Amino acid sequence: MFLRNCWYAAGWSRDFAPDALTAVTILNDPIVIYRRRGGEAVALQDRCCHRFAPLSMGRLEGDDLRCMYHGLKFAPSGRCIEIPGQAKIPPQACVRSYPIADKYSVAWIWMGDPARADEALIPEFIGVDDPAWSMKPGRMDYNANYVLINDNLLDLSHIAFLHNKSLGASFTPEGVSRPNISKTAHGVKIENWISSGPSQMSSTLSKGRIDIWQTYEFVIPGVFLLHADFYPQGTAAMFPEREPVGVEPMHRQFTCQAVTPLTDDRTCYFSRTGRGGRSRSTRRRSTSSASRRSTKTA
């Protein structure tokens, strides 16, 4: 069972090149994605309404897509606009069109009611083209149901043991504080301190112990936003169980992840991680606006 009135990551924006037809499967739906001449993405049902031939095996003609079985041509809206040898086009000659938008270097697709597709609801990633951050994208495909992937990413109890050398630092279970867990408009937010040994991310961080304030937000249907701010040792004692105020971190790291169900037992996991530095006030505004936007998803 899938949630449909949500934005899902169909792929990185760069995966969908101009003049190319790309076949994908999302939530068991076969979809073909291409770009108009102006660069805007189009997503159509990958099945001709006539004899069910894959439109991904068709031909682009300007902004339109022609099926190469009997020649029906479809507009980006999914409406058939031409049938060879036939002047009359039945109104039922159409294929489903999906709202799709490029944002944060990701092609996001709305799988539910098109009338409810609001681009303001797209969760905030940080794009590879963001000048304030140095981000590296990745992708993994699993032969597993998407719920298992979400379960793994929400299970933070394993971090101190399994990822004790993550974040370019080393820490023990004793160095991980009890998390603060709060409900957001459409998910959960987890915050806690990690007291760690030196980090190898920079020469400054390698000179002594550090405190890491970690904020981890899950947004339905499967988007994860992880901020990690690195502070001098002793900062956690000054601000127990809360985010530091008036203290700039020595280093900032951000990881954004999106889980997209392809079928009942296949899942795509997109991730992007990097370092950089937004101002703290900008980050607070971004986080609060993302929480407000998420209230409208269902």
Q: Please check whether residue 16 lies inside any domain of the structure.
A: yes
- Average pLDDT score over residue span 133-141: 85
Same structural domain, 144 and 221:
yes
Q: List the domain range (segments joined by +) for residue 231.
A: 133-294
Same structural domain, 176 and 114:
no
Q: Please check whether residue 2 lies inside any domain of the structure.
A: no
Q: What is the pLDDT of residue 119?
A: 94
Last residue of a domain, which of 64, 95, 121? 121
The residue whose two tokens read 């105020």 is: 245
Rg (CA), the chain: 23
Q: What is the pLDDT of residue 290?
A: 40
Q: What is the pLDDT of residue 122?
A: 92
Of residues 209 and 47, which shows the higher confidence score?
47
Which DSSP string corresponds to 228-273?
EEEEETTHHHHSTTS--SS---SEEEEEEEEEEE-SSS-EEEEEEE
Per-residue confidence band for 294, with pLDDT thresholds at 50, 70 and 90: very low
Q: What is the pLDDT of residue 277?
A: 59
Residue 168 C-alpha from the chain's centroid: 23
Q: Please check whether residue 218 lies inside any domain of the structure.
A: yes
Q: What is the pLDDT of residue 289?
A: 42
- Report the CATH number at residue 36: 2.102.10.10
Same structural domain, 152 and 273:
yes
Structure tokens belonging to residue 210: 């550090």
Q: What is the pLDDT of residue 295?
A: 35
Same structural domain, 79 and 149:
no
Give CA torsion, residues 42, 47, 51, 55, to 10 deg.
Answer: 50
Q: What span, in angstroms and rounded, lies between the C-alpha atoms of 223 and 86?
A: 47
Same structural domain, 95 and 149:
no
- Pick from 25-34, 184-193, 219-228, 280-289: least confident: 280-289
- Average pLDDT score over residue span 210-228: 92
Q: What are the helix (H) ranges across the chain?
A: 146-154, 159-162, 235-238, 280-294
Residues 83-115 have pLDDT tens digits of: 998 999 999 999 999 999 999 999 999 999 999
- Please state whether the predicted TM-score (pTM) of the whole model is above 0.75: yes
Same structural domain, 14 and 73:
yes
Task: Look over the chain and give the mean of its residue pLDDT values, rounded to a whole number.
Answer: 87
Look at the chain and report how many structural domains it folds into. 2
Same structural domain, 92 and 201:
no
Q: Please check whether residue 128 lies inside any domain of the structure.
A: no
Per-residue confidence band for 167, with pLDDT thresholds at 50, 70 and 90: low
Last residue of a domain, which of 87, 121, 155? 121
Model confidence at 230: pLDDT above 80: yes
Residues 173-205 have pLDDT tens digits of: 788 888 899 999 889 999 999 888 877 776 777
Model confidence at 51: pLDDT above 80: yes
Model confidence at 165: pLDDT above 80: no
- Average pLDDT score over residue span 270-279: 73
Per-residue confidence band for 170, with pLDDT thresholds at 50, 70 and 90: confident
Same structural domain, 143 and 215:
yes
Per-residue confidence band for 54, with pLDDT thresholds at 50, 70 and 90: very high
- Report the CATH number at residue 281: 3.90.380.10
Residues whose CB falls within 8 Å of the CB of residue 27, separated by 6 or more in sequence, listed in order: 2, 4, 8, 111, 261, 262
- Average pLDDT score over residue span 15-28: 97
Same structural domain, 149 and 212:
yes
Residues 252-261 have pLDDT tens digits of: 888 899 999 9
Same structural domain, 112 and 140:
no
Please name the amino acid found at residue 18.
Answer: P
Structure tokens belonging to residue 138: 């990745």
Same structural domain, 168 and 290:
yes
Last residue of a domain, which of 99, 121, 143? 121
Same structural domain, 83 and 184:
no
